[in-house]
């Protein structure tokens, strides 16, 4: 069971970094810091969008419109942090 909980924690940690990378990428893209015509940049952007959009879309539907400010990645990071702590402190100890 330790392996299962460790794997879940690792996946959540990796997804956290993907969300952070997606947010940074979107800022760089919005301010034209990166070349959007570059094929590699397009592939990275497409991967980050497809990896994060299914989790961010429901949060964006619930959150009120804040103009140009999108705080859905922050909300998702807080949810992931809660899940990691909840698993480590409440669920995993029941199996050991």
Instruction: Note whether residue 2 is domain-resident.
Output: no
Domain count, the chain: 1
Instruction: Note whether residue 1 is domain-resident.
Output: no
Instruction: Note whether residue 38 is domain-resident.
Output: yes
- The alpha carbon dihedral of 48, 49, 51, 55 has a sign of positive
Q: For residue 30, what are the domain limits?
A: 10-91
Place of tokens 């959540």: 12
pLDDT tens column, 32-74 = 999 989 999 999 999 999 999 999 999 999 998 888 889 999 9
- The span from the CA of 49 to the CA of 69, in Å, is 17
More confident residue, 96 or 69: 69
């Amino acid at each position: 069971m330790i392996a299962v909980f460790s794997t879940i924690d690792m996946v959540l940690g990796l997804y956290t970094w993907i969300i952070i990378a997606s947010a940074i990428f979107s800022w760089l893209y919005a301010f034209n810091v990166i070349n959007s015509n570059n094929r590699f940049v397009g592939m990275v952007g497409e991967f980050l969008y497809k990896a994060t959009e299914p989790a961010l879309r429901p949060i964006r539907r619930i959150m009120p419109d804040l103009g140009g400010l999108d705080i859905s990645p922050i909300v998702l990071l807080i949810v992931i942090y809660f899940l990691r702590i909840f698993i480590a402190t409440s669920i995993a100890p029941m199996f050991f």
